[in-house]
Structure 1
Amino acid sequence: MQTLPKERRYETLSYLPPLSDAQINRQIQYILEQGYFPAIEFNETSEPTEIYWTMWKLPLFNARSTQEVLNEIQACRSQYPSCFIRVVGFDNIKQCQILSFIVHKPNQGGYRY
């Protein structure tokens, strides 16, 4: 039996390899299909004690396509290239965050958006 190498784990889906562009697109599509509101957040670190991230603009209440969300991710990444960036999905009925996943890690490849 082999154990996982010791490394930092981030958010939902953190035990999987980095998401491809198509997988990121599909996760955002899932958020929209479920009626959740996507939002983009960024932070300089991803330490477990850092529970509050800075929100990039307001949640994307009127987003109807994945491309709208991807454009905002790219804008955030352009302005804050040295920060971790994640997408979160908010449920307006339960009034809480349902899911989140990292779409950009600074100084690491594997994420285009």
Structure 2
Amino acid sequence: MPFQSSVGDYQTVATLETFGFLPPMTQEEIYDQIAYIIAQGWSPVIEHVHPSGSMQTYWSYWKLPFFGEKDLNLVVSELEACHRAYPDHHVRIIGYDAYTQSQGTAFAVFQGR
């Protein structure tokens, strides 16, 4: 007898980044994640891409990485500025760890249309 399930597999729905399988985060949860990036000493990086290119390896930088940035409000205001400039694009933040030279975390903050 073939196995039948009403639950789809992980490929059923396209997801974005680390928290893509979870319900959308609240603004407070997003702030907490950005605060965590800063507390770890990672450099916040803001990137954006049109949804049609979201599965590409490289997204466009909003600005240069915010090396050594400690101000949560500045990072949040830059995320919002990027979203205003590109309202139809996905916008994500990356926590870049300079010690390991890798991404500590990455997640989509705004999803494009």
Structure 1: distance between partners of 2:96 and 2:42: 5
- Are 2:89 and 1:83 equivalent residues in the alignment? yes
SS at 2:84's partner residue? Answer: helix
Please give the TM-score of this superposition, normalised by the length of structure 1.
0.86
- Are 2:50 and 1:44 equivalent residues in the alignment? yes
Taking only aligned residues, the RMSD between alpha carbons, in angstroms, comes to 1.6
Please give the TM-score of this superposition, normalised by the length of structure 2.
0.86
Task: Please list every run of 5 or more consecutive structure 1 residues that lacks an aligned counterpart in the other structure.
Answer: 108-113
Q: How many residues matched? A: 106
- Deviating beyond 4 angstroms after TM superposition, the runs of 4 or more aligned structure 1 residues are none
Corresponding residue number in structure 2 for 1:25:
31
SS at 2:69's partner residue? Answer: coil
Q: Deviations over 1:41-78 (max 9, x none)?
A: 00012543x01000111011142121111000011011
Corresponding residue number in structure 1 for 2:7:
3
Structure 2: distance between partners of 1:47 and 1:59: 20
Structure 2: distance between partners of 1:57 and 1:70: 13
Corresponding residue number in structure 2 for 1:65:
71
Higher Cα radius of gyration: 2
Q: Which letter does structure 1 place at the counterpart of 2:7?
A: T
Say if 1:16 and 1:4 are closer, same or farther in 2 by CA, change over 3 A.
farther
Q: Which moved more, 1:73-82 or 1:57-66?
A: 57-66
Name the % identity.
33
